[in-house]
Chains A and B, each alone.
Chain A
Amino acid sequence: MLTQEERAAISEGCDSSPSARAAAPHALGAVQASRGWISDESLSDIAEFLHMTPAELDSIATFYNRIYRSPVGRHVILLCDSVSCWIMDYEYLLNHLLTKLGISGFGETTKDGMFTLLPSACLGACDHAPAMMVDRELFGDLTRQSIDTIIDQYRIKDGDRRTAQSPLATGRKEQ
């Protein structure tokens, strides 16, 4: 079932698109924004809402690089593997990143479900190669140290948020 917010987000996309079904990629993006990825169930729900068949919608979902049809972690790391970053030795950083995250290759998610690492085509930041994005944030001129700092900061930020949200933490604050 799509939530009220998801329906509203899809409808908003329909308004600014040249036609209702033109909002299909937008609808996929909107639902992905709230659920992280597009499951078969989400796909059917969106298809029904847009009056399309799930198969038709899946042909669109699978075409676009940034629509995920399998689960991803809470943060997606997109490491640029295109030519300028390759010249600037992104492969060296890849190995470091894999060790840091404790995973063995692109496409994998860390055990705690925090990060998924994916390759990306040129991020349009070649003057700051090697570059990567974490979710919608861009990081350039990467070194092993800066990668460590970035990952650690995400871990701290998320850790804080989770402690803050847990009933235990609230309880403690009230005392």
Chain B
Amino acid sequence: MIDSPLTHAMKPTKEALAIDEYEDAGGYAALRTAVTEMTPFDVTAAVTDSNLRGRGGAGFPTGKKWSFVPPPGKRTGAAYLVVNADEMEPGTFKDRLLLEQNPHLVLEGALAAAFAIQAQTVYVFVRWAYAKAAQRLTKAIIEAQRRGYIGDNVLGSKFCVRVHVHTSHGRYLCGEETGLLNALEGKRASPRSKPPFPQVVGLLGRPTVVNNVETLCNIPPILRNGAAWFKALSKTGDSGTKLYGASGRVNAPGLWELPMGTTPREIIEKHAGGMKSGYNLRGFLPGGASTDFLTDRHLDVPMDFDAMQKAGSRLGTGTMIVLDDRTCPVAMVHNLVTFFARESCGWCTPCRDGLPWTQNILADIEQGRGRPEDLDRLELHCKLLGPGRTFCALAPGAVEPLQSALKYFREDFERHITEKRCPYKH
């Protein structure tokens, strides 16, 4: 059986799989089975059994998310399925691969999800920078319409569905699920308060499920091969495979579909070809810019949701950013916080004012103007911007790398302050 269901059929030329090629590799069989032989409830149950957790960063169980959508008898009017293809987390480039090279897999997953929650409309929310992805997806939609996978009475069933591609105009908040819904409604992409959750009150006030691209790509293989197979793909308790990535000063930066729970050591040493010569590993952000630093002590911790959390970080998007020993950790955190300060939507005070403040303190330290009390002030900001104190998860995510840098690279901060210069600059 296939052990890399998301990527095995992709072409070495990096072109998109055309619909014939996708069908030859078993594509759209899962959708056919779903709409002709299963009930929406069966599909949700199969996904719940598989123990699939969301690949957008938070790891929420997908089947459970779908089960919160009220069934047609208990709701009036439409429901929506939204594909989150806004990938903008710095250091993350995994959804691009799926969208560009296997657009029909994204579509089939979205269509099966729409069937499960009985939505008649799918929106694919694509980031502006992914113009090629949007173009290939649009072509795939036309191909799928011609074969009867999209439209009225899909494959002769009662299921009717339309798919639209929406290209965003850029802002990190567009990726946050409620910010995304506001963006789709043509508003500023500030987040909404939760509850009510989008599954009950979402797009235009209707029940809506927002799922990540990689999450949805797992649905067709789960429906085709079953929950037991999906669980067996993984090395740990979190099932399936994961698209892992590595960037920074490694020999072969890239992206690999590997069993869930693969270790950072294997990813860096085997797949990314190890550190570039002359550089040693100092630490890494396991899953994008908003995850806590881990260090060489954590190289054998499985990269899954639970183990990463226990180690003090998060799996996040699973695309790691490697910090080497010739790069200044203070400057790296300054770069990260600058991103978050710029992308803050300004809705709530701790984030709007706290992030620029943090950014200024870090700039001072980096440029040799820091004072010892600045470190206490940074620690305080990590608390004031932490979970539960802001309207959305941007600010808590922003301080994750900072709080862990203060823990693991404290002597670097202190040296900047006592030596009044960056020790990494010659």
Contacts and interface: CB of A to CB of B under 8 A. Distances in A.
Given A86-B332, A87-B332, A122-B90, A59 B204 contact: no
B379 interface: no
Given A18-B204, A123-B129, A87 B253 contact: no
Interface in A97-156: 120-129, 133, 136, 138
Interface of B: 80, 87-93, 95-96, 121, 123, 127-132, 164, 166-172, 183-189, 203-204, 245-249, 253-255, 285, 289, 319, 321-324, 327, 332, 335-336, 339, 342-343, 345
B127 A124 contact: yes
B4 to A, nearest CB: 18
Given A123-B129, A124-B87, A126-B92, 5 more contacts: A18-B123, A87-B324, A122-B88, A127-B93, A136-B131
Contact of A65 (B131, B169, B187): B169
A91 to B, nearest CB: 10
B79 to A, nearest CB: 12
Contacts of B343: 121
B90 A84 contact: yes
Contacts of A18: 80, 121, 123, 184-185, 203-204
Which of B95, B169, B183, B245 gathers most chain A CB within 10 Å? B169
A130 to B, nearest CB: 11
A55 interface: no
B176 to A, nearest CB: 14
Interface stretch (A1-9, A24-32, A157-165): A24-32
Contacts of A124: 87-88, 92-93, 95-96, 127, 129-130
Interface string A66-97: 11000000000000011110111000000000
Contacts of A128: 253
A36 to B, nearest CB: 15
Contacts of A82: 90-91, 289, 335, 339
Interface in A14-73: 16-19, 21-26, 28-29, 59-60, 63-67
Contacts of B171: 63-65
A16 B91 contact: no
A155 B245 CA distance: 36
Nearest to B165: A16
A16 B92 contact: no
Contacts of B245: 126-127
B92 A87 contact: no
6 pairs of A and B residues whose beta carbons are closest in the complex: A64-B169, A65-B170, A22-B186, A82-B90, A126-B247, A122-B90
A123 B131 CA distance: 11
B332 A121 contact: no
Nearest to B173: A63
B237 to A, nearest CB: 29
Contacts of B172: 121
Nearest to A63: B188
A18 B188 CA distance: 15
B396 to A, nearest CB: 18
B335 A24 contact: no
A133 B129 contact: yes
B255 A127 contact: yes
B186 to A, nearest CB: 4
A82 B248 CA distance: 12
Contacts of A22: 184-186
A119 to B, nearest CB: 9
A127 B185 contact: no
Contacts of B189: 63-64
B332 A66 contact: no
Contacts of B324: 87
A59 B322 CA distance: 38
A17 to B, nearest CB: 7
Contacts of A59: 188
Interface centre among B87, B88, B345 (most CB of A within 10 A): B88
Given A63-B171, A88-B249, A83 B319 contact: no
